Amino acid sequence: MTGALAHTVVESPCGPLTLVARDGALAGLYMTDQRHRPAQETFGPRTGLSLFARVAEQLDAYFAGDLTHFDLDLSLDGTAFQRSVWAGLLTIPYGTTVSYGELAARLGQPGASRAVGLANGRNPVGIIVPCHRVVGANGSLTGYGGGLDRKRWLLDFERGAHQTVLMDAFA
């Protein structure tokens, strides 16, 4: 990541979430033990930017079941293909899923489901850029940087199975 960086940590039902900002926009949302999580020292100083308050507010509303679409400035650092996949993720409606192949076809590259899966796994802003909404061709839960238990929890949550138990195992 390049640019002025800062970070903070917020609590959520999925465990602590590390928020990273770059030049006033959200550049990262990482879960504990997340695959492809950059090293902590690359996140910049821990601070209380007003952006983080807005992100935390929207995350709280999401986890309360009151928000289905985030409205935040994002700064997603990746290749052109990765950014196109992440933009495609933003079009998947709350509470629904698509397969990697379906997402590849939507992007005009029907033979690129594996590449879509790899880009999906590198999504730097989990939950808000909803990579958890992508599943295998048969509907199976395949891969998730935050772990399959979190992916299952997020999908169940969005489908209306509002769990009262927090994800203490991920704290």
| Active-site amino acid positions | 131
Exposure string of 31-66, with b = 16+ CB inside 10 Å and e = fewer, is bbebeebeeeeebbeeeeeebbeebbebbeebbeee
Q: Residue 134: which H helix or E strand, with range?
A: strand 134-135
The single-letter DSSP state of residue 24 is T
Which residues make beta-bridge pairs with 135?
A: 99
Nearest-angstrom CA–CA distance, 1 and 28: 10
Calpha distance 103→43 (Å, rounded) = 30
What letter does residue 132 receive in the DSSP assignment?
A: G
Instruction: Classify burial at 28, counting beta carbons within 10 Å of its beta carbon; exposed 0-12, middle 13-18, buried 19 or more.
Output: buried
